[in-house]
Structure 1
């Protein structure tokens, strides 16, 4: 049976240098998604042209730098993440080769076999963030599941997280004891209600 063996990770993009190659629709979509989740992300976009919406987004975001030029291998230098976001398969392949040679993690849009990581659908309610992955099989299903979760999570979830964090800080005992106490306190959240 085919299974998803991806390891979910949440990056602090404000602490990393990200390169996006491509200034069209795909580049805009990737930059916009990163900024929605990490408004202080530091992103360099290299392309020979920029979609006007991407230019406007860059003007509103101090961490986004647009560099109008063809991609070169030096663009990868000093970056920790690279996203190849062009409609040009040959250029995307070249970006992938340069990133791999530099041991930099890369995502090649719409080419799962060339991706070290995927940009999944994300549900956010305050401090709660849930990433959804279909292992590159169906972004549309991930988007639909996102909609269901976004609608079903209560608006007060952020207040609950805040209260539980304060409680956690006041609990006594070692790590295992704190986990045990917090599990007991939060058990009603997952108990099935009888009809």
Structure 2
């Protein structure tokens, strides 16, 4: 008898959006791979510390050090560097030293990623498409980073222009809706109404929706009706 529930597909990763804002991320190494890891962490508003001799910093990492975007410790890694770290990203060309970092992180229960060594990773970095608040990540679970990049580019090519701007406006509308209907009991209705707006409005309308449009649209929340952008603006013109 066929099941009505989704089939379990083992062997995957738990894909989540990890919030590291103002968290302490330690990056061991200063080469090209480390540069990419650092950028990911900075994009997530983390506080980044890089431990690596100055002679080992590539141009990008050296630039971020010079601009005070990261804190730099000018020497090789020492166990004491783990003090206060919320996450460790190791990207050095020394397998023995990398494994040592991994074991220390395991002892201290600090989530870590050891570049190019999948068995020594609590999490993987995927290939990411970014458009404002929109982030689309493709992961191959450590099997094929280049293939992840190819798949990510194909997905990005199918996305409409201005998707990020539309998402930003939807986020603003959601916040305003919570002010209009803050009660937890309103939660299901808020979700249903917002879903209706996203499904019935064109992407172009969401992109061009302004603060006045949002205010006009929200007057229809209580009734549950979802007018078009044209209807919202027509009703606003009729106001004194």
**Corresponding residue for 1:5?**
12
Partner residue of 2:32 out of 25, 28, 40: 25
The answer on 1:175 being equivalent to 2:187 is: yes
Aligned length: 187
Other structure's SS at 1:131 match: strand
Q: How does the TM-score come out when normalised to structure 2?
A: 0.69
Q: Match of 1:146?
A: 152
Q: How does 1:44-193 map to 2 (within 5 A)?
A: 44-48=49-53, 49-53=55-59, 54-60=61-67, 62-168=68-174, 169-170=176-177, 172=181, 174-187=186-199
The answer to whether residue 23 in structure 2 is matched with residue 16 in structure 1 is yes
Whose radius of gyration is greater, 1 or 2?
2
More strand by share: 1
- How many angstroms apart in 2 are the aligned matches of 1:125 and 1:29? 18
Q: Which residue is 1:193 aligned to?
A: none
SS at structure 2 position matched to 1:155:
coil
2 CA distance for matches of 1:11 and 1:116? 13
Q: Structure 2: give runs of 5+ residues left out of the alignment.
A: 1-7, 202-240
What RMSD over aligned residues (CA atoms) do the two structures have, in Å?
A: 2.4
For 1:161 and 1:185, locate their aligned partners in 2 and report how far apart those are by CA, in whole Å: 12
- Cα distance in 2 between the residues matched to 1:120 and 1:68: 29
Alpha-carbon shift at residue 6 of structure 1 (Å): 1.6
Offset of 1:111 from its aligned partner? Answer: 0.7
Q: TM-score normalized by structure 1?
A: 0.83
C-alpha displacement at 1:182, in angstroms?
Answer: 2.4
